[in-house]
């Protein structure tokens, strides 16, 4: 389950909203003391600085949506990684779409 974005945008795609609802429920049910890093990622189009900024905006957009869904803000942190952690080939549109994503990492429990 991944959260996706339109190219060059921090707008969460409509098909990702259900995933965020389920993520919010899981995070709210996590043991006290759990902290979640919301990591934003981008494709390779554009500059390194632009991609880093966009990935940070994407992570922040997801944090904002999770807070809107009832997750306490103090449980979440947003971090942009730019294009440094690709999971697919950036030579194709399909690969670039997969790289425009969010990953959740449990930092503490």
Provide the whole-model pTM. Answer: 0.86
What residue segments make up the domains of the chain, in order of their start?
3-108
Is pLDDT at 109 greater than 60 in this prediction?
no
Residue 1 has pLDDT above 70, yes or no: no
Q: Which pLDDT belongs to residue 100?
A: 83
CATH code of the region 3-108:
3.30.1330.60
pLDDT digits (tens, 9 = 90+) for 29-72: 999 889 999 999 988 988 999 999 999 999 999 999 999 999 99
Q: Copy the structure tokens of residue 86.
A: 């690709």
Nearest CA-CA partner of 38 in 108, 109, 107? 107
Residue 88 has pLDDT above 80, yes or no: yes
Dist CA 90 CA 84 (whole Å): 12
Q: What is the percent of the chain with per-residue pLDDT over 70, rounded to a whole number? A: 97
Tokens of 26: 């899981």
């Amino acid at each position: 389950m991944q959260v996706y974005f339109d190219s060059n945008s921090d707008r969460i795609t409509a098909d990702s909203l259900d995933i965020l609802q389920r993520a919010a429920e899981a995070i709210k049910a996590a043991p006290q003391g759990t902290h979640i890093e919301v990591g934003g990622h981008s494709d390779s189009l554009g500059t390194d600085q632009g991609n880093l900024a966009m990935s940070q905006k994407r992570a922040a957009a997801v944090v904002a949506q999770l807070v809107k869904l009832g997750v306490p803000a103090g449980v979440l942190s947003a971090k942009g990684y730019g294009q440094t952690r690709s999971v697919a080939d950036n030579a194709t549109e399909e690969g670039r779409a997969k790289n425009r994503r969010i990953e959740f990492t449990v930092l503490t429990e």
